[in-house]
Chain A
Amino acid sequence: MTSLIRAFGGPLTCLILFFSGVWVLGLIAAPQIIMIDKSLWRMERPVGAAELSVQIDGLYNRLDLLALDRSTVADQPEKLAAIDTETSTIQAQIADLERAETTPVKTYTLDNFRQMGAAHFAIFVRTILASLAVSALALVVCYPIAFAVAQLKTARTAALIMLMLVVPYAINELLRIFAWQMLLGPNGPVNAVLSALGLPAVPFLESGAGVFIAMVYAYILFMVFPLYNVLETLDKNQIEAARDLGAPVWQIHRRVVIPHARPGIAVGCIMTFMLSVGSYSVPYIMTRGTAAPWFTQLIYNRFFEATNWNVGAAYALSLLIVCMIFVFLMMRLLKVSLKDIAK
């Protein structure tokens, strides 16, 4: 704190602290807290609602009796007046009780998390497994590319190749996915090629394979760049030293390149996994109801179709927890610290 003041001066320090505060509160804490809070309560019938309704029933009976009494004492004005006042107090009482009976109360509970039936849970698990597979496939595809580009002697060629990799991503994501939907559709070019080769048509869109392919495509960039960045910093002499000492290619990668690339692998996997697991547009466009939904679509349904925001929040939170576990596992597995990732 004092060092901050010394480095930036009083007013600037205040400004820095203010903006970091806004950042932490507004961008990190507030949305999470609201989501966590929402997932932990729901509106319930008040406690003792049953007794209340018995009581209300009793009061209605009493009203009926009073109406009967009223007809028998029609000629006695003072008695009539007494009955009328009693009737109106009872009616007021009933109104109060009925309000108490029907107004739901906010109750904190873990029930929202138990709302997930077997079918939804299966989708949850499938979404996670598919996202893991997307990350794994992206890693397998990107590692050789990133390595090859990083090994290029001239930085210019490397920059050019990386630029060419980025160019398609200048197009809006939705359009790109629509393109894939058309490519993989029943009458799309891919199936046309397959049938020209005499192979049976593949129901990419209906089987969920389409979602998978489009997702690898959509998020592969988030794997290739962290990998490239880290591989580019590898001293080429290390590869040559390993070769000189008799290491075959796979050993060079196992002992020298991959250990060096660990932070990049961790960042790439975490990014592609989180993006895939949280993707809404890709499964939405690629399937449009023809294949089993992605878990994000279930969350969307909870919010906007079942209008049960609490269960929706609980679903979303479950996904978030899985993501956190994944991040933690990746870091443990690859022995990377937050510091390495930040680099």
Chain B
Amino acid sequence: MTGQTIGMEIELQRASVRFNRFQAVQPTDLTIRAGEFFSILGPSGCGKTTLLRMISGFLEPTEGDVRIGGRSMLGLGPSDRPTALIFQNLALFPLMTVWENVAFGLEMRGWPRAKRRARAEELLATVALADHAGKLPDQLSGGQRQRAAIARALAVEPAVLLLDEPLSALDLKLRQHMRAELKQIQARTGITFVYITHDQGEALTMSDRVAVMNKGQIIQIGAPARIYDHPGDSFVATFVGEMNALPCKLTESGPIAQCETPLGLLRASNPNALPASSDAMLFIRPERLRPLSPGEEAENTLPARVTRRDMEGAWSMIVTEAQGRKLLVNMPNDGRGAPPEGEVRLGFEAAEALILPKGEISHD
């Protein structure tokens, strides 16, 4: 190794991208810390790839500045930036062997053949592909191709690795395995990873911080737990993880507010301090809703009827209906009480539900 690569900080200053009339990325201020595993999470078409291409240099921002390692990148092409991009479809060169693929960046930097071959093999060994150096990309499995693409990007010793949904083509098992592997590589190299995905599981498990994006705009940035437990708006609340949503009208303001919903008066926390009589949405995670045993009480209770029970291994997803509204309930499969059937009472604590301003709901 030619020294430990150290990640660099990325800073977007009012950076935006417009295609003709279409604003693909709204003016964005964003700081991604050096050596951080940063994910950008958003639905398809929200501008994630566009944002990444702006950082990598394939697109110039229409306005604003992109700075990497404290230096403005305006006017610099992708090969002049300390970044490497891993494409959505990997884009390995199909007519070159695996090691030639990995060594391509070095070849372009004028390394002699023997030297770059040695370096490529070293890199392939770090991604457990040492035995496949002579194969063509087509002869590799999906996960191996994935690792070859990572090795190819690492060969040019970038300070920032940009990954555009690199796991989307893999099956679930492999995806979970590769998540861990990517995280390891990131920790080992110390490179800044900017990871794009529309899979919230991926973003939550791997990242130091997550940015949720919608319609060209970054809506919320935070640690995975923060995003999950304290979504800033209705879109984040419904896009990240499963969520039950009820329209409501506040009847009483305060840190814990009371509101009128189609299912009756309910109490929930009110982080935005919405005033009384405003229209809002009440959100409650399926795992925070629980079936109450007879006689058991909770701050909020709802009568409902079980329509379906899906056993998912460690937990069960119970689909219930209350006044024609679907409510999801998650129950751990811990042997304490069988999943209910027929009529149930559901309960939750006020602090576990959120009242947020009415807004866009994700239907993913």
A interface residues with partner B (beta carbon < 8 Å)? 235, 237-238, 240-248, 251, 255-256, 259-260
Please choose the segment from B88-96, B254-262, B284-292 that sits at the chain A interface, where 4 or more of its residues have CB less than 8 A away: B88-96
Do the beta carbons of A237 and B89 come within 8 Å of each other? yes
Q: Return the chain A residue nearest B162 by Cβ.
A: A244
Known contacts A245-B79, A245-B152, A256-B93; A240 and B104 CB within 8 A of each other = no
User: Ordered nearest first, which 6 A-B pairs have the shortest CB separation?
Assistant: A237-B91, A245-B105, A241-B91, A246-B79, A246-B108, A244-B78
Q: Which of A237, A241, A248, A255 counts the most B-chain CB atoms under 10 A from its CB?
A: A241
Residues of B within 8 A of A240 (CB): 58, 78, 85, 87, 91
Residues of B within 8 A of A255 (CB): 93, 96, 104, 107
Do the beta carbons of A245 and B77 come within 8 Å of each other? no
Q: Which of B78, B84, B96 counts the most A-chain CB atoms under 10 A from its CB?
A: B78
Residues of A within 8 A of B96 (CB): 255
B interface residues with partner A (beta carbon < 8 Å)? 56, 58, 77-79, 83-85, 87-89, 91-93, 95-96, 104-105, 107-109, 152, 155-156
Do the beta carbons of B104 and A247 come within 8 Å of each other? yes
Q: Return the chain A residue nearest B87 by Cβ.
A: A237
Residues of A within 8 A of B104 (CB): 242, 245, 247, 255
Do the beta carbons of A260 and B95 come within 8 Å of each other? yes
Choice from A235, A242, A247, A248 contacting B89 with Cβ under 8 Å: A235
Known contacts A240-B78, A260-B95; A246 and B87 CB within 8 A of each other = no
Residues of A within 8 A of B83 (CB): 244
Residues of B within 8 A of A259 (CB): 95
- Is the contact region of chain B dominated by helix, strand, or loop, or is it mixed? mixed
Closest Cβ of chain A to B88, distance in Å, is 8
Closest Cβ of chain B to A285, distance in Å, is 43
Do the beta carbons of A243 and B89 come within 8 Å of each other? no
Closest Cβ of chain B to A258, distance in Å, is 10
Q: Return the chain A residue nearest B109 by Cβ.
A: A246
Complex alpha-carbon distance, A261 and B134, angstroms? 23
Q: Return the chain A residue nearest B155 by Cβ.
A: A245
Residues of A within 8 A of B77 (CB): 243
Choice from B56, B88, B93, B107 contacting A244 with Cβ under 8 Å: B56
Q: Return the chain B residue nearest A259 by Cβ.
A: B95
Closest Cβ of chain B to A13, distance in Å, is 34
Do the beta carbons of B89 and A244 come within 8 Å of each other? no
Do the beta carbons of A244 and B84 come within 8 Å of each other? yes
Complex alpha-carbon distance, A154 and B152, angstroms? 30
Do the beta carbons of A241 and B95 come within 8 Å of each other? no
Complex alpha-carbon distance, A93 and B215, angstroms? 109
Complex alpha-carbon distance, A243 and B58, angstroms? 9
Q: Return the chain B residue nearest A235 by Cβ.
A: B91
Known contacts A235-B91, A246-B156, A260-B95; A241 and B85 CB within 8 A of each other = yes
Do the beta carbons of A245 and B91 come within 8 Å of each other? no
Choice from A237, A242, A245, A251 contacting B84 with Cβ under 8 Å: A245
Complex alpha-carbon distance, A238 and B96, angstroms? 12
Closest Cβ of chain A to B191, distance in Å, is 15
Residues of B within 8 A of A242 (CB): 93, 104, 108
Q: Which of B77, B92, B104 counts the most A-chain CB atoms under 10 A from its CB?
A: B104
Residues of B within 8 A of A251 (CB): 108
Residues of A within 8 A of B56 (CB): 244
Closest Cβ of chain B to A50, distance in Å, is 68
Residues of B within 8 A of A256 (CB): 93
Residues of A within 8 A of B156 (CB): 245-246
Known contacts A235-B91, A238-B93; A244 and B108 CB within 8 A of each other = no
Q: Return the chain A residue nearest B57 by Cβ.
A: A244
Residues of B within 8 A of A243 (CB): 58, 77-79
15 sample A-B contacts, Cβ–Cβ < 8 Å, listed by A number: A235-B89, A241-B87, A241-B91, A241-B92, A243-B78, A244-B78, A244-B84, A245-B84, A245-B108, A245-B155, A246-B108, A247-B79, A247-B104, A255-B96, A259-B95
Closest Cβ of chain B to A259, distance in Å, is 5
Complex alpha-carbon distance, A259 and B101, angstroms? 14
Residues of B within 8 A of A245 (CB): 79, 84, 104-105, 108, 152, 155-156
Closest Cβ of chain A to B59, distance in Å, is 11
Residues of B within 8 A of A248 (CB): 108
Residues of A within 8 A of B89 (CB): 235, 237
Closest Cβ of chain A to B17, distance in Å, is 15
Closest Cβ of chain B to A241, distance in Å, is 4
Closest Cβ of chain B to A314, distance in Å, is 42
Closest Cβ of chain A to B10, distance in Å, is 16
Complex alpha-carbon distance, A244 and B104, angstroms? 11
